[in-house]
Structure 1
Amino acid sequence: MEEIFSNENQVIQVVLIGVLMLLLMGSALLIFFFLSRKKIVEKELEKKSLEITHQREMISSIIVTQEKERKRIAQDLHDDISSKLNVINLNANLLKDGELKPEEYLLVNDTILEATDKTLESARKIAHNLLPPILDKFGLKDALEELADSFNNSRKIKIEYILNYPKDFLSSQSELHMFRIVQELINNSIRHGKAKNSSINIEIINKNLRFTYIDNGKGFNQNNLDHQKGLGMKNIESRVSLLNGNYQIKSQKDKGFKIIITIINPS
Structure 2
Amino acid sequence: MEELFTEENQVITIVLIGVLLLLLMGVALLLFFFFSRKKIVEKELEKKTLEINHQKEIIQSIIVTQEKERKRIAQDLHDDISSKLNVINLNANLLKEGELTPEEYLIVNDSILDATDKTLESARKIAHNLLPPILDKFGLKDALEELADSFNNSRKITIEYNLEYPKAYLKPEKELHLFRITQELINNSVRHGKAKNCTIRINLTDSKLIFTYSDNGVGFNVDDKNHQLGLGMKNIESRVALLKGSYIIKSAKNKGFKTIITI
The answer, yes or no, to whether TM exceeds 0.5 is yes
Q: Which residue of 2 aligns with 1:105?
A: 105
Q: Secondary structure at the match of 1:160?
A: strand
Please state how far the C-alpha of 1:8 moved relative to its aligned partner.
3.7
Cα shift at 1:24: 1.1
Structure 1 unaligned segments of length 5 or more: list them. Answer: none
Give, in whole Å, the separation in 2 of the partners of 1:198 and 1:212. Answer: 11
User: What do residues 140-174 of structure 1 show as CA deviations (whole Å, max 9, x unaligned)?
Assistant: 00000111111111111111111111001111111
- Letter in structure 1 aligned against 2:35: L
Tell me the residue number matched to 1:54: 54
Which one-letter code corresponds to 2:100 in the other structure? Answer: L
1:42-99 CA deviation, whole Å, 9 max, x = no partner? 1111111111121111112111111111111111000000000111111111111122
Report the AA paired with residue 229 of structure 1.
L
Structure 2 match to 1:118: 118
Question: 2:196: which partner in 1?
Answer: 196
2:49 and 2:34 map into 1 onto residues whose CA distance is 22
CA distance in 2, matches of 1:218, 1:25: 61
| Mean CA deviation greater in 241-250 or 119-128 | 241-250
CA distance in 2, matches of 1:12, 1:253: 75
**Could you tell me how far apart the structure 2 residues matched to 1:70 and 1:173 are?**
19
Hey, what's the Cα distance between the residues in 1 that align with 2:159 and 2:98? 54
How far has the Cα of 1:176 moved from its partner?
A: 0.5
Partner of 1:166, secondary structure, is coil
Query: Equivalent residues in 2 for 1:29-108 (5 A)?
Result: 29-108=29-108
Q: Which residue of 2 aligns with 1:240?
A: 240
Deviation larger for 227-236 or 158-167: 227-236
User: For residue 256 of structure 1, what is the amino acid of its counterpart?
Assistant: G
**Corresponding residue number in structure 2 for 1:213:** 213
Deviation at residue 198 of structure 1 after TM alignment: 1.1
Letter in 2 for 1:144: L
Kindly provide the amino acid, as one letter, of the partner of residue 236 in structure 1: I
Q: Which residue of structure 2 lines up, in the alignment, with residue 183 of structure 1?
A: 183
Q: Distance in 1 between matches of 2:226 and 2:121?
A: 40
C-alpha distance in structure 1 between counterparts of 2:151 and 2:163, whole Å:
17
Kindly state the Cα deviation for residue 127 of structure 1 after the two structures are TM-superposed: 0.6
One-letter code aligned to 2:80: D
What's the secondary structure of 2:112's corresponding residue? helix
Q: CA deviation at 1:124?
A: 0.6
Q: Give the distance between the partners of 1:88 and 1:5, measured in 2 at CA.
A: 121
Gaps spanning 5+ residues in structure 2: where? none
- Comparing 108-117 with 220-229, greater Cα deviation is found at 220-229
Worse-superposed segment, 127-136 or 99-108:
99-108
Alpha-carbon distance in structure 1 between the residues aligned to 2:4 and 2:125: 108
Aligned runs of 1:164-175 on 2, under 5 Å? Answer: 164-175=164-175
Question: Matched residues in 1 for 2:190 and 2:9: separation?
Answer: 91
Q: CA deviation at 1:4?
A: 4.5
Q: Distance in 1 between matches of 2:30 and 2:208?
A: 48
Deviation at 1:194, TM superposition (A): 1.0
Deviates more, 1:140-149 or 1:57-66: 57-66
9-18 or 243-252: bigger deviation: 9-18
Q: Deviations over 1:105-135 (max 9, x none)?
A: 1111111111111111101100100110110
Q: Which amino acid aligns with 1:120?
A: L
CA distance, structure 1, for counterparts of residue 102 and residue 261 of structure 2: 64
User: Could you tell me how far apart the structure 2 residues matched to 1:217 and 1:185 are?
Assistant: 12
Counterpart in 2 of 1:129? 129
Once the 2 structures are TM-superposed, how far is the Cα of residue 206 of structure 1 from its aligned partner? Answer: 1.8
Amino acid at match of 2:48: K
